Each structure stands twice: as C-alpha cells, then as structure tokens.
Structure 1
Amino acid sequence: MNPVVVFTLGGTISARGGDASRMTGAEVLAAAGIPVTAAVELRDFRRLPSSSLSFDDIAALAGEIDKVTAAGSGAAVVQGTDTLEETAFLLDLLCTTTARPVVVTGAMRRPDLPGADGPANLAGAIAVAADPGCRGLGVLVVCADEIHSARHVRKTHTTSVATFASPGAGRLGTLVEGSPRILLRPAHPLVADAPLSLRRQVRVCLLTLALGDGGELLDNVDERFDGLVVAAFGAGHVPAWLVEPLGRLAARIPVVLASRTGAGALLSRTYTGPGSESDVLARGLLSAGHLDAPKARLLLHALLADGADRERVSGAFARIAGGAAAPV
C-alpha cells in the first residue's frame, strides 16, 4: 500500500460549530480516529470555507500534490463540499502525475452534529489514496462509501450525506468494509497531454440563462473577460434574440455552449430552428459535450491560462464533444 499525505483545506469537516472557526488538520484527523504515522502524513494546507478558495490556492495545491505523488505517496485532499467537485476537476487538469491516486473528500455534517459523515469519508479517501489499484483513474472523489471520477461528479443536494453523484455516468466504485472496489475505469483521460498550467491571469465568465432572459448580462461580457461559458436550456438552446449577440461575442473570445441541466451531452444537430443547438454552434460557439457548465468554465479557464490560442481551445472542446481525449 502507498503512504498517504493528507492535505486539509478547511470546510464543514473541520468546523467547530456554525461560525467561521476551524479545527487544525491534526484535530480533524484526531476526530476521525486517524493517527499521524509513517503511513499517513499531514499537511495543514489552508483553513478556509471552500467558497473562498481561489485558482491560486488550487494551483499551489496541485504543485504540492505533484511532489508527494512523485515521491511515492497517494494524496487525500479534505475540503468543504461547496466547491469540492470543482477542486477535483481542476486538480485533474493541473496535476502532472497519475503514478499514485489523488482523492478529494469532505463532509456534509459538522463534527458536533449527530451522524457526522466526515470521519468515514476521510477514512475512505485515505484507503483509496493508499491503494495502488486506484491509480490511473484521474482525480477521484470519495464520499458516502462511493468512488467518483472528478470529470463527472456533482453535488446534487444541499444537505444529504449522499449528495455526490455522477449523473449520466455512474460511480467508478465503492468501499466495502473499508477497502476500495473499482467497478469501472474511464476509457481515456479527459485531456490528453495534460497537465495544464495556470501561467497567465485570465477571466472566464459563466452565464446561466433563464426564462425571459433579455441578454442584459451579455452587455457586461466586455474586454474584462477572456472567455465565456453559456449554461443554456435543455440540450443547448437559447432564446432566438440572443443568437446574434452570442455570435458577435464568439467572434472576439472563445464562447462555450453548455447545458444548465447538469447531466447529458449537448446535442449538435437534432434541432435546427432559431436558437437551436445547430443554429448557435453554427455561429462559432464551442460545444461543452458532456461537461456541465461549471466544469466547462474550469477547462476553458485552464486552457486560456496555459496560453492556448483559439485553435487549441477549439480542438480541445471538439474532441471532448466527440467523446475522445483532447490533446491540448
């Protein structure tokens, strides 16, 4: 089994109550009954609610994870669940090695509440990170005895301890009596030739459409933004009156079309009328494929921050929409 380095970032699993105070990483492990030993090392990396984590935080974390995995350890990241799926996905894009498993986990119930799930989730994450059979799967999320791929997992409920699911794909495996059981393996990495590097400061906007949307927010997607992701209706539909403004934006910056539904692939040719996926994609927008809108935003941000030009961005999303790994 691999030794494991546990990186604690804060979140509900470390809450001392309902206020902003947080336990140290050592206290989090102690509360879960997990001793710091030669097999389990602790890095008290941050002490923040996950809603306050930044791209810089995750880039720094990816660098530290690369060091420990290159040295032969698995990595378990413990953070709040609000942005857990985004941290896991971004780490999947940034980490340079798959030699050892990298796992992200958290908790839905504070340690002082009945049925606190943090200890079991942390123990499960460490078990997966320690298991050599779990490498090569990309970054994983472990919660409620389930193992999920970072590319598919989503937080689906505000309070349920079983909140994490992978709509349209399913879990990769489970924990049985504390041991990982891998049931499925991804056919290919999300992005070939990863990792990406956040070497440039960029800004990517995420716009979610709603009934009767007049497009006023599009007016604010000006020179301050380097890219845009549109969370459209259904399988990729927008109001007919937004087609022209979106086309003009797509001529200036990369604009990615995603679905606000959270599951299922974007269509490309089923509907052909005004505002349909065919109409919008013909105006130069890029399909997010099976990626949900927040993850499409992270991929676009990472590509642009890595210095990708329009052709490279377009190629990466085209391959994802087609179901293959995307050389970048």
Structure 2
Amino acid sequence: MQNQVPRRRVAVYGMGGTIAMAGVGGVVPSLSAAQLLDAVPGLADTGIDIEVNDFRRLPGASLGFADLTALAVDIDKRLASGDVDGIVVTQGTDTIEETSYLLDLFHTAPQPVVVTGAMRNPTLAGADGPANLLAAVQTAAHPGSRDHGVLVVLADEIHAARHVRKTHATSGHTFQSPNTGPLGHLVEGNPHFLSRLPAARATLDLTALHTDPRVALVTVVFGDDGALVHDLAAWADGLVVAAFGVGHVPQGLVPVLSELAEHIPVVLASRAGSGPGLSSTYGFPGSESDLLEQGLIRAGFLDPLKSRILLWSLLATGHDGGSIAEVFRRAGAYGQG
C-alpha cells in the first residue's frame, strides 16, 4: 500500500478591507473570510485544507496596534500547535506595508505568514481579490516558503514584509520593494523564489509586549520651521523624522531635534521612498552626520513608515536607547557599515 502525502493545511484570518467589501453607494467591509474563499475559482482543486477565522471586519485604515498585536498572539499560538503549514491574512491594502512588518517583527516560527488584499472590490469588473487570495494560499502552503518571515503576495508577486511598499493609490501592481525587488513570483500556482534575503532579520519577543507607546512621524518639508516638533516630548514616547534625501533637515530644526533626542528616541529616516540614509558624507548643520552627532538614530534602508513600526515595537517591548540603536543597525541593514 502506497504512503499518501499528507494534505497541506492553511489557516486564513480575515481582517476586512477592500477584498471583503460590498454594498451600494459606497462599499464597506461586509464579507466573511468564508465568503471570500467560496468566491475563489480553483481553490478546491489545490488539495489544500483551509481553516477560517473571521478575526476583524474593518477597513485597513481603521486597524490599530491592538488589533495587530492580538492577531500576532493568535497566529503564534496557532503555529505553535504544529498542525498548519502556513497562515494567510486578508486585509485592506491601505496599511499592509505597516501591518505586515509589525507581524514580521514578532514572527519567529518557520511556517510562512502571508498577507494579501485587493485593490478592486468584489463589486467591480476585474476584481483582483480571488486571484490574490488563491496565490496567497498557495504560497502559504508551499514548503519553499518557510523561513522567509512574513510575506506579502499580490498580483502574483511575493515580497518581504520588511521591504514592501504601497506605491500607487489605485494600481493592481501597487506593491513594490524598491530596494530589493520581489523575492519571487507565482508561476502556474507554485511560488518560485528568485532571491533570498539575508538570514538575519530583526525579531522581537512577543511575550514582552507590555505598553502601547505613542510614536510620532513628522515629514520635513521645504521651509520647515519645526513648529510640528516643538514640545513633542510632552506627549510622544518616540519620534521618526522623515528627512530630505539621505537624512537632511533645515538647520533651524537641529536645536529642537537635539533637545528631543535627550528625552525620547528620535529616528532619522529618508522621505525619498528608496535608498538608505547615510552617516558621514555631508557635514553642514542639519546634515546626516550633524544629526547623528546630536543623538538621532539612523534608520538606514528602513523607510519612515517601517521605522515607526519598529520604534513602536521596541518601546512596547521595553527596549532603551542603546538597544534601540542596535536593533536599527540590524533592521536598517547598515550593521556592517
């Protein structure tokens, strides 16, 4: 008698978003995860067993840290049971670049967690939700997807959560990884990984979550007088500065940022959209070297949105200034520089 290959098993967590929206006169999240799966052509033919969990039913813009940390805890417990090969999370695309990275920071199990969504809701011609959901399930079930951390799968592309960004308001190909490109693609229903990220990635202890810090993100703009950051330490536990270019601000902002850095961690990121913040190329007041000398923390290749998620996670797990800077060195990919 031949040995039968065990069927792969994937747990799907529905969080809401465009992929689950319907209605007249303005769509709203109304479809369950089970209804989404029922609408996917070819899913039954994959031989993958699906477990469904309606976790939230919210627009992506209305998800918060409490929702995602609760999801991370539930996923961690589900993976620890050992009877699922992977997890799929469906949610609104508005915040996928942030939520997927938050999940990635607290994901230490080998099984893949795959986040997906849709740019066109189910009431529109050419809705992309079914195809994205099928690709996400196929990726989560595949043994080759293990040990990649959290993945984002849309338009048959596989991206690492720590690099992916939403780059277009309406395009179905909005998710891109500007600094690295996609990790792989879905080809005839199978994930093909064309590149691998370095094995070392920043992960944090989920059981250490104990606070809900306030972390501000301020984008520096032309002619900025610093009014938005004055007195920020009175209510914020941390700050991310989305600076010009490789990490520059108007020189008038230097004193206030220097003073803030004495009280709260201040991370210096680039607002450019890709490329790293530097450390020692420029030397004028308000340059990257000047700001780092004032105690700001270099984000490296992390963009401002990812930097805020990492800083929140570090503060929420009890890290202090020195350890925050060390994790940013690893996460920002400049630890060897």
What TM-score comes out, normalization by structure 1 length? 0.94
Work out whether residues 257 and 288 of structure 1, in 8 Å CA contact, stay in contact via their aligned partners in 2.
yes
SS in 1 for 2:100: helix
SS in 2 for 1:252: coil
SS in 2 for 1:216: coil
Work out whether residues 138 and 189 of structure 1, in 8 Å CA contact, stay in contact via their aligned partners in 2.
no
Corresponding residue for 1:3?
9
Work out whether residues 207 and 231 of structure 1, in 8 Å CA contact, stay in contact via their aligned partners in 2.
yes
Work out whether residues 196 and 302 of structure 1, in 8 Å CA contact, stay in contact via their aligned partners in 2.
no
User: Does 2:81 match 1:71?
Assistant: yes
Corresponding residue for 1:115?
126
User: Out of 306, 311, 316, which is 2:317 matched to?
Assistant: 306
Work out whether residues 102 and 138 of structure 1, in 8 Å CA contact, stay in contact via their aligned partners in 2.
yes
User: Out of 8, 12, 18, which is 2:18 matched to?
Assistant: 12
User: Out of 28, 32, 49, which is 1:24 matched to?
Assistant: 32
Work out whether residues 8 and 44 of structure 1, in 8 Å CA contact, stay in contact via their aligned partners in 2.
yes
- 1:6 is aligned with what amino acid? V
1:230 deviation in Å?
0.2
- 2:33 is aligned with what amino acid? G
SS in 1 for 2:58: coil
Corresponding residue for 1:253?
264
Corresponding residue for 1:206?
217
1:324 deviation in Å?
4.4
Query: Map of 1:261-300 to 2, 5 A cutoff?
Result: 261-300=272-311
Counterparts of 2:153 and 2:333, CA distance in 1: 28
User: Does 2:80 match 1:95?
Assistant: no
Counterparts of 2:133 and 2:335, CA distance in 1: 33
SS in 2 for 1:229: strand
Corresponding residue for 2:238?
227
Work out whether residues 2 and 129 of structure 1, in 8 Å CA contact, stay in contact via their aligned partners in 2.
no
Corresponding residue for 2:116?
105
SS in 1 for 2:66: helix
SS in 1 for 2:56: coil
Corresponding residue for 1:85?
97
Give 5+ residue unaligned stretches, structure 2: 1-6
Going from structure 1 to structure 2, the CA distance change for 1:182 and 1:114 (only over 3 Å counts) comes to same
- 1:316 is aligned with what amino acid? V
User: Does 2:50 match 1:40?
Assistant: yes
- 1:54 is aligned with what amino acid? G
Corresponding residue for 1:50?
60
Paired-residue identity, %: 52
1:318 deviation in Å?
2.9
1:305 deviation in Å?
0.4
SS in 2 for 1:85: helix
Corresponding residue for 1:124?
135
Going from structure 1 to structure 2, the CA distance change for 1:151 and 1:245 (only over 3 Å counts) comes to same
CA displacement 1:124-158 (0-9 Å, x = unmatched): 00001001110101100000000000000000000
SS in 2 for 1:6: strand
1:319 deviation in Å?
3.3
SS in 1 for 2:218: strand
User: Out of 159, 162, 167, which is 2:173 matched to?
Assistant: 162
Corresponding residue for 1:179?
190
CA displacement 1:111-133 (0-9 Å, x = unmatched): 11111110000000000100111
1:95 deviation in Å?
2.4
- 1:218 is aligned with what amino acid? V
1:199 deviation in Å?
1.4
User: Does 2:248 match 1:240?
Assistant: no
Counterparts of 2:302 and 2:332, CA distance in 1: 8
User: Does 2:142 match 1:136?
Assistant: no
1:31 deviation in Å?
1.7
- 2:55 is aligned with what amino acid? F
- 1:83 is aligned with what amino acid? T
How many residues are matched? 324
CA displacement 1:205-226 (0-9 Å, x = unmatched): 0001111111111124132111
Counterparts of 2:207 and 2:274, CA distance in 1: 25
Counterparts of 1:3 and 1:222, CA distance in 2: 48
Counterparts of 2:162 and 2:78, CA distance in 1: 23
CA displacement 1:77-108 (0-9 Å, x = unmatched): 000000011111000112242x2111000000
- 2:95 is aligned with what amino acid? T
1:194 deviation in Å?
4.9
- 1:8 is aligned with what amino acid? G
